Amino acid sequence: MGNQPFIKSLSRAVPISQENIDTDQIIPARFLKATNREGFGKNLFCDWRYHEDGTEKPDFVLNQKKYSGEILIAGNNFGCGSSREHAAWALYDYGFRVVFSSYFADIFKSNALNNSILPIQVSADLLSFIFQKVEENPALVFEVDLEKEIWGIPSLGIEKKFEISSYKRTCILHGYDDLDYVLSHQKEILEFENRRFSEKKYTRNTR
């Protein structure tokens, strides 16, 4: 499963307000045997989402039909704990492309960006406001525009900038992983190498 390009989203959001959600809660360790990214979404937040017999826990947000969308609103310090990339795989496979929080664990943030998930960090006060508004109106629509590096809630007149490295922005816009990015510049690389070869050959012949 490759990454799909992400440019812009108009989507509702799923709120999980717990703080310090670690990667073992995102995807429990017993599901880490697979090396293929496909299929992890069904086990996202598994221990919160299902009873031991596999039936859904009706109180958990992913099992509530009123909440949906490709945007996750998460509590502070999201993705802490072990460095497993499978946490990003599970979020992506489930369908999340954007995660809002007031703080992301560094390794999780890196894994998210590498898997075309956009982590957007906001202040604690703004995060609290977002939770309140989503809980009041689960149909609230967010706009996230990666090209312009802005996010907003159009119905509330909110528009904010967010920061992302130009390299990761390019990768997510095109659905590239690191190798794809290098290959996208193959023509320029070959032209550079041919130019260097010609210059070296000319230098040797003129000595």
User: SS3 of 165, please?
Assistant: coil
pTM reported for the whole predicted model: 0.86
Closest CA to 101 of 43, 161, 16, 172: 16
Residue range 28-43: mean pLDDT, rounded: 86
Of 3.30.70.890, 3.20.19.10, 3.40.50.2000, 3.40.190.10, which CATH number belongs to 8-176? 3.20.19.10
Alpha carbons 19 and 78: distance in angstroms, whole number: 7
pLDDT in tens, 83-137: 889 999 999 999 999 999 999 999 999 999 999 999 999 999 999 999 999 999 9
pLDDT tens-place string over residues 160-204:
999 999 999 999 999 887 666 565 556 765 665 666 666 565 566
